[in-house]
């Protein structure tokens, strides 16, 4: 039985991870759950899965949890609470499902313990990919991707040699604005941007999908996960989200991983690898699918995607600047403080303003993140 720590247990990845655990109660045991402030859902999870520990970030929510929780559990809180849980050597797999830069520090602690990291927090590799890979090598930790695109590539690469890969092909749904012109995006509302056609996700990642920044972050993540240069990573828009990604080999063959959109499948694979467990989560009926279509991404319309390719080429702390600026810009859009098309404009301003350090250590990365956030807040408040 594998013991799990789930960082972000009330988000979409966390909830789906618990759905997998529920399907395989003799395979997995939850030892710790962490949340920001959704303690009503956390209390239900504690009642069912009976973890030994929980972390609650929000202080008001923490007091509420103490009132509604009916089961014995050790409660962590405060600035170090999340990393304290990650440092505790009583688990086998860390499901890193926090949103944004917040996932970096606890994921590093899991790596230092030599744990398997089921990684849904793409920002960890975006901002610190080189350092993360070095830590994994030193501490014999393994990262198994949970994002559907990277899981697809990972599955296609099993049994293959990296030298035989011609290209990684990440598929993108195109989000809710695929068929809209740039002029039509001038005044889109938050609710329109949150109306994703295929996936049910949290607000931040849904906006990232609408801008295609999500795909840009995935390009950077793929570079560090699979050790391939930018020129061997491509993006194809595939609105149906049936082909989750592909690998083209030097002989012209292409492998693809296909299924109906359901995050439980890549989560289950990350937990069970190298085994595959039989489940009834996903059923794909090809005759009912009709046609599958593909398009080139429009870099002029989706400028965030182009910026991501640019910072991958620039390296250093520029991906950190990109990520921090995007997090603040998306938050500002969700609050109604800026327009949708302001997001890439603000990110580009940050990239032009803030110094790019070519060989950063972890302290420099954290400092760069703080400087970028402060700069973006000065532009959006």
Structural domains of the chain sorted by starting position, each given as residue range(s) with its CATH number in brackets: 2-145 (3.40.50.720), 151-260+286-302 (no CATH), 315-381 (1.10.1740.10)
Which tokens is 157 given?
Answer: 């690469």
pLDDT of residue 195: 86
Is the distance from CB of 216 to CB of 141 less than 8 angstroms?
no
How far is CA 92 from its chain centroid? 20
Mean pLDDT taken over the chain: 95
Sorted by sequence, the CB contacts under 8 Å of residue 226 that are 6+ apart come out as 153, 157, 162, 165, 168
CA distances from 132 to 120, 187, 272, 274 (A): 15, 39, 22, 22
Give the model confidence (pLDDT) of 61-120 as tens digits.
Answer: 999 999 999 999 999 999 999 999 999 999 999 999 998 899 999 999 999 999 999 999
- Of 125, 113, 105, 69, which is closest to residue 87 (Cα–Cα)? 113
Using N-to-C axis directions, what is the helix angle for 342-353 and 362-380, rounded to 10°? 130
Region of poorest pLDDT, from 13-17, 94-98, 288-292: 288-292
Sorted by sequence, the CB contacts under 8 Å of residue 238 that are 6+ apart come out as 171, 172, 173, 292, 293, 294, 295
pLDDT of residue 99: 87
* Length of the chain (residues): 381
Residue written as tokens 């744990």?
A: 115
Judge whether residue 10 has pLDDT over 70: yes
Give the model confidence (pLDDT) of 126-150 as tens digits.
Answer: 999 999 999 999 999 999 999 999 9
Judge whether residue 224 has pLDDT over 90: yes
Sorted by sequence, the CB contacts under 8 Å of residue 374 that are 6+ apart come out as none
Mean pLDDT, rounded, for 352-369: 96
pLDDT of residue 118: 98
pLDDT tier at 199 (50, 70, 90 boundaries)? low
Which tokens is 267 given?
Answer: 């989560």
pLDDT of residue 13: 95
Judge whether residue 201 has pLDDT over 80: no
How far is CA 362 from its chain centroid? 20
- H or E stretch at 195: none
Judge whether residue 290 has pLDDT over 90: no
With a pLDDT cut of 90, the percent of the chain lying above it is 91
Residue 248's beta-bridge partner residues?
167, 254
Cα dihedral sign, 242-247-248-251:
negative
pLDDT tier at 381 (50, 70, 90 boundaries)? confident
Which tokens is 298 given?
Answer: 């429009």
Q: How far apart are CA 333 and CA 342, in angstroms?
A: 8
Judge whether residue 198 has pLDDT over 80: no
Q: How far apart are CA 200 and CA 148, in angstroms?
A: 13
Mean pLDDT, rounded, for 264-289: 93
pLDDT tier at 348 (50, 70, 90 boundaries)? very high
pLDDT of residue 122: 92
pLDDT of residue 40: 96
Residue 235's beta-bridge partner residues?
170
Q: How far apart are CA 182 and CA 248, in angstroms?
A: 32
Give the model confidence (pLDDT) of 45-63 as tens digits.
Answer: 999 999 999 999 999 999 9
Which tokens is 361 given?
Answer: 């250590």
Using N-to-C axis directions, what is the helix angle for 12-23 and 264-272, rounded to 10°? 60
- Of 136, 155, 144, 313, which is closest to residue 230 (Cα–Cα)? 313
């Amino acid at each position: 039985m594998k013991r799990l720590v789930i960082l972000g247990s009330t988000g979409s990845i966390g909830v789906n991870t618990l759905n997998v655990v529920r399907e395989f109660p003799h395979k997995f045991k939850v030892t710790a759950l962490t949340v920001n402030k959704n303690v009503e859902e956390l209390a239900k999870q504690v009642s069912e899965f009976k973890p030994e520990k929980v972390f609650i970030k929000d202080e008001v929510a923490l007091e509420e949890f103490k009132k509604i929780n009916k089961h014995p559990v050790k409660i962590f809180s405060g600035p170090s609470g999340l990393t304290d849980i990650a440092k505790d050597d009583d688990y086998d797999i860390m499901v890193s499902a926090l949103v944004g830069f917040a996932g970096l520090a606890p994921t590093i602690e899991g790596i230092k313990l030599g744990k398997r990291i089921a990684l849904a927090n793409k920002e960890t590799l975006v901002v610190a990919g080189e350092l993360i890979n070095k830590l994994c090598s030193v501490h014999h930790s393994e990262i198994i991707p949970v994002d559907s695109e990277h899981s697809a590539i990972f599955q296609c690469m099993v049994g293959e040699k990296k030298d035989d890969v011609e290209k990684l092909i990440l598929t993108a749904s195109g989000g809710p604005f695929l068929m809209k012109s740039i002029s039509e995006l001038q005044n889109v509302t938050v609710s329109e941007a949150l109306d994703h056609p295929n996936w049910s996700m949290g607000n931040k990642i849904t906006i990232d999908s609408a801008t295609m920044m999500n795909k840009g972050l995935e390009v950077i993540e793929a570079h560090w996960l699979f050790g391939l240069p930018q020129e061997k990573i491509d993006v194809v828009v595939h609105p149906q989200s049936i082909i989750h990604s592909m690998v083209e080999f030097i002989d012209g063959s292409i492998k693809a991983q296909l299924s109906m959109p359901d995050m439980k499948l890549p989560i289950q694979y990350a937990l069970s690898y190298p085994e595959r467990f039989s489940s009834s989560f996903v059923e794909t009926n090809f005759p009912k699918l009709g046609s599958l279509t593909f398009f080139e991404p429009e870099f002029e319309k989706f400028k965030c995607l182009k910026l991501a390719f640019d910072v991958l080429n620039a390296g250093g702390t520029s991906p950190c600047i990109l990520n921090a600026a995007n997090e603040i810009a998306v938050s500002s859009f969700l609050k109604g403080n800026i327009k949708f098309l302001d997001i890439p404009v603000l990110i580009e301003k940050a990239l032009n303003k803030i110094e790019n350090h070519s060989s950063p250590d972890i302290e420099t990365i954290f400092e760069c993140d703080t400087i970028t956030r402060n700069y973006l807040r000065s532009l959006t408040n």
